[in-house]
Structure formats: structure tokens, C-alpha cells
Amino acid sequence: MTIFYQYNPWNTSIGGIQTLISNFIKYMPDEFECRVVGVGDDLTQRIGVWQVAELHGKQIKFFPLFSLRNDNVRRIIPTTLRYALALIGKDFGSDFMHFHRIEPTLSTRRWKGDKTLFIHNDIHTQFSSRRGSKQAILWNYFPKLYFAIENLLIRQFSQVLSCNKASTQLYRELYPAIADRFVDYCNTVDTDIFFPLTELERDRQRQQFATSLNLPETTRFILFAGRLHPQKDPVLLIRSMAALQEPNVHLLLAGDGELAEEVRSETQKLGITKQVTMLGAIKQDKLSSLHQISSICVLTSAFEGLPLVVLEALACGTPIVTTRAGDTPNILSKNSGVVCEERTPEAIAEAFQKVLRYPDHFSIRACIQSAEPYHAKQVIHSIYDSMLKRWHI
């Protein structure tokens, strides 16, 4: 199996796709050998050369196409385009190939093997974003071109797995002749890393963390984890924090991205710098400990698929406050989160208040139950089983 994506498995990189790929490697059955075609750091890795390495106790082969020091920030030339161009003239055909963007597969149509494409967003909502808005992506300016390219490429895949039910249905309608290839799948959470603490231990560690930030022991935390990117709309989150007007509540931002400076500026403008800590990009084990001590995990996204951070928070027993984006509202119960019907600071602050004032209504057990269908080992093994069945046929 060869996995194609523009990341380095050994660097701190923000995003659910990176985590999903990591889980696919960790829970890979012994029948498979894994290769990853990614990007390198040009310090410890030779660019353009296969090298043997270890990840999660599994030996894999890694091929960095080019050097990329920080993939958390968008560039003038999108990294996806640069990655696609770097594949031209190569042939990494394998028994199985996994792709997490469609653009790189412009070069793969003649490669031999079983190809799977993963869809990570609500495509309809993504392309409905206004072109001039900060939530717009580059393809929003050229939707006809995108769908023309997609139409050219989509039939090369044996299976297209979507974590967003609306996207699955949309693709079945767009391509009725191959509708059976579009399949819903569950995003995953690694419960070896993300798990709850007891109430007593949770409170003890929360107090310790508050002290480490020179905050009162009674401080409660709201956690955002993800890219500081227009899709996630972290500026709306900062405005929501200001609207909350709760001095004993502190916002943790675990992530980096192109909006980092704008987030800092907005925080200063609204006078809440003492209530916000920007942690930068962090590793999974550190993120797990933040989920375990937080009162809320928040998403203010304009569009989503099913964010892994939601599943990670729930598996740690932490309730969600989210905008109505992607499949997150569909997996929450009334006791594991609150869905904001309006993307406004006031609506989000009101949802914060609901969870903070009535924590007993949002129990650890209810959160864990919402995450149970998404445990990585069982979900990923079912996908590998499907791959093996196609192989034997």
C-alpha cells in the first residue's frame, strides 16, 4: 500500500488527514507493507530517494518529493499543486494506493493498482462559500474547472470514501454510473492516546496546568485545536470569547497557520490577551492532555467533513460546542455537545455558557458514547478487510 499526501510523518503537522494516515499505519495488518510519498525536511531526509524508517513500531518506506519546512501555512503556490507537479513523470503504482486530494491523481491515471480517494470535507458547502470571503479556497474561484478535472479523474478509483454523508450523496448524484463506488466511512480516534481521566484526576491536572500558566486554580479551559485557517474561522472564535465575558475562563489555541497574526491582533483589539494562550502546533500526546483538562472543545468552522478533533475530545470525555458544519452535529447527543444555529459571537458565547453553567448535563460517559463508533482499530480494520476482499477477487 502506498499513501500519497503532502506531509512528513515525523514532523509536528496540524490536521485530521495527517492523523488519519498515522492511524492507518499504526493499525495496518501484517499482510500489508506500507510506503508513504510525502515531503521532507532536507535536514535528516534525502529528497527524492526511498528510505526505510519506523512509525508506530511499523517499518515503512518513505519518499519525500521535495522539502517543506512548515506545511501549516498556505503559500502563493498551493502545496497541493506543487505536490501534484512533483508526481509528473513518476510511477508509484502499487497493489493499493490511498489519495487524500484529487489534484495529485492527474499523474496517476495509468498507474496500475487499486486506488482509493478519501473525501474530507462537505464539498457542497465548501464550494458555496462566497468567493470574496475569508472562508473561500482557491478552487472557489474556478468551480467549473475543478469539477471538470474531477470528472476526468474520478473513474480511476476503485472506491471513494467520504466522512461526510452530504458529500457522499452529492457524488452519487453527480456520477450515477459509478454510484456504488462512493461509500460513507467513519473518521477515527485512537483511544490508546485519547481517553478520559477520572473526575478527581481531571480536576487535579486542570489545576496544575492553570498554575503553570500563572492562572488561578479555579480557571476553566476552552480548547480549539486545528489550523488557524479561514475554514476554521478562529477570528470568530476570538470574538466569541470576548462576548462570553467570563474572566475565569481561558481559551487555549493549539495550532498554527496563516491567520495567527490576525488572531493575535483581534485578541489585543478586544482586550482579552490575558484570557487567550496560543500554544502553536503540538503533538498528539500533548493534545490529549489538553482535551482531558478542558471544559469544552470548540469549532467555529464555515465547513467541515467530520473533524478528528471532535472525536478526540469526545473520547476524552470533553463536550463539544460547534457551528452547524459537517457531520459533527449529527454525532452529538444533547448531553455531549451544543450546536450553534448561528455563526455569531453571541450564539457561540451562549453555547459556552450553557456547558459551563451546567457541566453535569454534559457527562464524561455521554461524550465517550458519542465517540464509540469511531474507534480507530475497528474502523481501519474494516477498511483493510474490504481492500483484501477486492484483492482476492
- Give the closest residue to 62 by CA, choosing from 7, 24, 100, 18: 7
In a domain, 193, yes or no: no
Q: What is the pLDDT of residues 248-298, one digit of tens each?
A: 999 999 999 889 999 999 999 999 999 999 999 888 889 999 999 999 999
In a domain, 109, yes or no: yes
- The pLDDT mean for the chain works out to 90
Q: Are residues 332 and 382 in the same domain?
A: no
Q: What is the pLDDT of residues 16-69, one digit of tens each?
A: 788 899 999 999 999 999 999 999 986 778 899 999 999 999 999 999 999 987
**For a pLDDT cut of 90, what percent of the chain falls above it?**
73
Q: Are residues 14 and 159 in the same domain?
A: yes
Q: Are residues 312 and 164 in the same domain?
A: no
pLDDT band at 135 (very low <50, low <70, confident <90, very high): very low
Give the pLDDT confidence score for residue 13 in this predicted structure: 61
58-67 vs 96-99, strand pairing mode: unpaired
Q: Using the predicted structure, report yes or no on whether residue 209 has a pLDDT greater than 50.
A: yes
Q: What is the pLDDT of residues 150-192, one digit of tens each?
A: 899 999 999 999 988 888 998 999 999 999 999 998 889 999 9
Give the pLDDT confidence score for residue 27 in this predicted structure: 95
Q: What is the pLDDT of residues 63-106, one digit of tens each?
A: 999 998 766 556 667 888 899 999 999 999 999 999 999 999 99
Q: Are residues 358 and 385 in the same domain?
A: no
3-state secondary structure of 269: helix
pLDDT band at 131 (very low <50, low <70, confident <90, very high): very low
Do 137 and 231 touch, CB atoms closer than 8 A?
yes
Residue with cell 472506491: 159
CATH of the domain at 382: 3.40.50.2000
In a domain, 64, yes or no: yes
Q: Are residues 85 and 232 in the same domain?
A: no
Q: Are residues 172 and 262 in the same domain?
A: no
182-184 vs 220-225, strand pairing mode: unpaired
Give the pLDDT confidence score for residue 166 in this predicted structure: 83
In a domain, 366, yes or no: yes
Q: Are residues 121 and 39 in the same domain?
A: yes
In a domain, 333, yes or no: yes
Specify the number of domains making up the chain: 2
For the chain, the 3-state helix, strand and coil shares in percent, each to the nearest 5, are 45, 20, 40
Give the pLDDT confidence score for residue 145 in this predicted structure: 82
**Which H or E element spans position 389?**
helix 376-392
pTM: 0.81
Q: What is the identity of the amino acid at 377?
A: K
Residue 280 is classified by DSSP as -
Q: Of residues 126 and 229, which shows the higher confidence score?
A: 229
Q: List, in sequence order, every residue forming a beta bridge with 298; answer none if it has no partner.
A: 321
Q: Are residues 379 and 368 in the same domain?
A: no
Range of the domain at 104: 2-188+375-392
Q: Are residues 144 and 238 in the same domain?
A: no
Number of residues that make up the chain? 393
In a domain, 194, yes or no: no
Q: Using the predicted structure, report yes or no on whether residue 14 has a pLDDT greater than 80.
A: no
Q: Are residues 339 and 293 in the same domain?
A: yes
Q: What is the C-alpha to C-alpha distance for residues 107 and 366, in angstroms, rounded to an integer?
A: 46
Q: Are residues 178 and 307 in the same domain?
A: no
Q: Are residues 258 and 134 in the same domain?
A: no
